[in-house]
Amino acid sequence: MAKSQKPGERPRKPVEPKEPLKGASKTKSVKIDVDEDDPLAEIKSLQKEEITTEAIPVSELKKAKYEKQIPGQFDFEAFDSKGFGEGYSKEKRAEMEQMYSGTVTSVNSGEVVKGTVVGINDRDVILNIGFKSDGLVPLAEFKEMTNLKIGDVVDLFIEEREDAMGQLVLSRRKAKLVKGWEYVQTALDKDEVIEGFVKRRTKGGLIVDVFGIEAFLPGSQIDVKPIRDFDIYVNKNIEVKVVKINYTNDNVVVSHKVLIEKDLEQQKAAILTNLEKGQVLEGVIKNMTNFGVFIDLGGVDGLLHITDISWGRINHPEEVLKLDQTVKVVVLDFDEDKKRISLGMKQLTAHPWDALAAEIQVGSKVKGKIVNVADYGAFLELQPGVEGLIHVSEMSWSQHLRNPQDFMKVGDEVEAVVLTLDRDERKMSLGIKQLTEDPWTRQDVLSKYAVGTKHKGIVRNLTNFGLFIELEEGIDGLVHVSDLSWTKKIKHPSEFVKVGESMEVQVLELDAANRRLALSHKHMEENPWDTFETVFTIGSVHKATIINKNDKGAVLELPYGIEGFVAAKNLAKEDNSKAEVGESLDFKVLEFSKEDRRIVLSHKSIWSADEEKPAAAAGAAKGGKKAPAKGASIQSINQQNEKSTLGDLEALSALKEKMQGGEGKGE
């Protein structure tokens, strides 16, 4: 009995049992309800129903397996195979493989393949690459293809053959990059000219889109001449060449300049072939420097030096020229091998010396503007291209040369006197001190600087033998080192005074013819040695400090700031030790000379009974006479000799009388 139908199940149709095989025993006929939509429903029903059969011979089963199946019957033995696809013969399998191989493409991840647009919706584009399934690519990756339609063929990059959802993952953006790098490498290998689109400017150049890759176009590679405004190239197409590829940093460098240089090489060759000295050309200023300007002559550059721009003196070319200005120049010289061209502009006009006024002669006064100041003088421009040199010695009557900038600076309007003029050599020397009177030729110079007059001046220069003082502009005098102080022994003037300080002096000698003045600073005070003569008398004792010492003796500092000398042997102290530098001891004066400003002293004489005597005293002792003081007159010497003679006579008379008295007593 068939099972009753459950609610909601599909209606089953009755299935007649198959025709029994030959040789098989008859079976019990059973009517089974089978689901019409399920092809395996018949088998499932047979398995569910309990069927009783009789044994069938094996030979009949084998024979029945290879017999042609009768429609409506099912071969259970043929269906019950060991694995999927094992029921196909080799010929059948080969046939099936051939059919599938023509319809399904074998693809790998990371490849770039062609795909056909088979569908477009609001978000995605459906593409067929010949694989078992189609792929989806976002519509945003096709934004540059405004006319995208079904049937278009595009390049696609296979990211994944099958993702977690079993979907084929494609990318048009990555395909463009891969293809772009291939095109860029090909352009570099074959040195091809490609077209790019300037997207934006950046620091130092432009960003150019070539084959979907952002390449860098340096500012120096845009044109042969410097470009100051990069914005004019933005959002425009430009032809470039690939010059460098760096795969590590994904960097591509392109150049537009190399395209222009090829054309310019032909133009340069043509220009240099026809170039001649003295030829007048027209060019455009493309660059400016401190030393000149570079001019584009139409494919070849020439240098216009700053000295060849104008006959007048200029500090920078921008004072008279501007960038991109068209100018006429003359060819001064050129080197075909080095492709260097020297140009001139001032040579197109007459030299201003040729137009110099004839009334300008030696001794005439001229006016102009200072255009340059150097260490040795200044240049006065009378008119553009005509200059004269004012040497520093011609700026002041002073004998001491100073910096010309102390007198004038660039831009000053100055009047001068022409000292020399050579129109052929185009040279002129000028002077400005000649506009004033020479101070040495004034009428009052002899009375103003007479001997004994006192003045105040400024120290201008120091030498080993003295110093020079400027009393007024052009009047200088010499102060010898020995005339700086009465008391101090000065070896160099720098010990006493510095340059720029003021000093009071007295005129010792005047020679107006030779422009010489002998001055003295110590004569501003009375000679203190007249007073010292009464203080430092021979034999007087004074407290002194040793300030210097050598093998011969020591220098002492005496009261009133004067110095004295003591011999080495006279430095011995009472304990037989030697006095050292810095000690303050008592010293006795042995010798005093006002003319030589010399005082000789001794410490040994303070404690020793053997008193040291000066040379003059010793000489008097030997002759029984007192030596006359140094500098005494002949008259005083004669008087001294006369007194000695009379004394001797008186002594002899007394001795005679004494002898005579003794004789009388004896008698």
Task: Pick the closest to residue 406 from 475, 468, 460 (CA basis).
Answer: 460
Token pair, residue 652, equals: 């002899």
Both tokens of residue 639? 């008087």
Distance between CA atoms of 408 and 291, rounded to whole angstroms?
A: 26
- Cα atoms found within 13 Å of the Cα of residue 257, Cβ hemisphere only: 14
Whether 383 has a pLDDT exceeding 70, the answer reads yes
Domain 275-348 shares a fold with domain 443-520: yes
- Residues 192-218 have a mean pLDDT of 87
pLDDT given for residue 653 in this prediction: 54
Q: What is the DSSP string of 569-634?
A: GGGB-TTSPBP-TT-EEEEEEEEEETTTTEEEEESHHHH-SS----HHHHHHHHHTSPPPPTT--H
pLDDT at position 18 is 45
CATH number of the domain located at residue range(s) 275-348 in this protein: 2.40.50.140
Q: Do 254 and 215 meet the contact criterion of CB atoms below 8 Å apart? A: yes
pLDDT confidence of 72, banded at 50, 70, 90? low
CA distance 26 to 446: 176
Q: Are 322 and 352 in contact (CB under 8 A)?
A: no
Residue found by looking up tokens 């976002």 in the block? 138
Q: 518 or 99: which carries more pLDDT confidence? A: 518
**Do the beta carbons of residue 542 and residue 589 sit within 8 Å?**
yes
**328 pLDDT more than 60:** yes
Output the 3-class SS for 129-168. CCCCCCEEEEHHHHCCCCCCCCCCEEEEEEEECCCCCCCE
Q: What is the pLDDT of residues 548-591, one digit of tens each?
A: 888 889 988 888 777 889 988 888 888 888 888 888 888 888 88
Per the structure block, which two tokens stand in for 379? 């240049």
Residue 255 tokens, joined: 């150049």
pLDDT at 124: 80
pLDDT value at residue 103 = 59
| CATH number attached to the domain at 532-606 | 2.40.50.140
Residue type, 98: Q
Average pLDDT over residues 341-368: 84
Residue-level pLDDT at 615: 43
In the CATH scheme, what is the homologous superfamily, with its name and number, of domain 443-520? Nucleic acid-binding proteins (2.40.50.140)
Give the start-to-end residue ranges of the domains of the chain. 111-176, 191-262, 275-348, 352-435, 443-520, 532-606
Which residue has 């990555």 as its token pair?
Answer: 174
Terminal Cα-to-Cα distance of the chain (whole angstroms): 225
CATH code for 191-262?
2.40.50.140
- Who has greater pLDDT, 359 or 226? 359
Nearest CA to 233 out of 245, 219, 251 is that of 219
Judged against a pLDDT cut of 80, whether residue 309 lies above it is answered with yes
Within 10 Å of residue 432's Cβ, how many Cβ atoms? Answer: 18
Give the residues across from 275 on adjacent strands.
Answer: none
In this prediction, residue 38 carries a pLDDT of: 53
Average pLDDT over the chain reads: 75
pLDDT at 461: 85
Give the separation between CA 131 and CA 108, rounded to whole angstroms.
11
Class of domain 352-435: mainly beta
Q: How many CB atoms lie within 10 A of CB 63?
A: 13
**Tens digit of pLDDT for each residue in 147-158?**
877 888 887 777
- Here the tokens at position 108 are 């790998």
The mean per-residue pLDDT over the stretch 651-658 comes to: 51
Q: What is the DSSP string of 68-100?
A: PPPTT---HHHH--SSTTTTS-HHHHHHHHHHH
Output the pLDDT for position 392. Answer: 86
Closest by CA to 199, choosing from 176, 231, 224, is 231
Instruction: For 224-242, write each residue's pLDDT tens digit.
Output: 777 778 888 888 888 888 8
Which one, of 220, 221, 259, lies nearest residue 239 by Cα? 259
Q: pTM to 2 decimals?
A: 0.39
For the domain with range 111-176, which CATH number is right: 2.40.50.140, 3.40.50.620, 2.60.40.290, 3.40.50.10610?
A: 2.40.50.140
CA distance 488 to 116: 115
Query: What is the pLDDT averaged over residues 312-338?
Result: 83
Q: Please give the Cα distance from 275 to 269 (Å, whole number).
A: 10
- Top-confidence residue, 222 or 168: 222
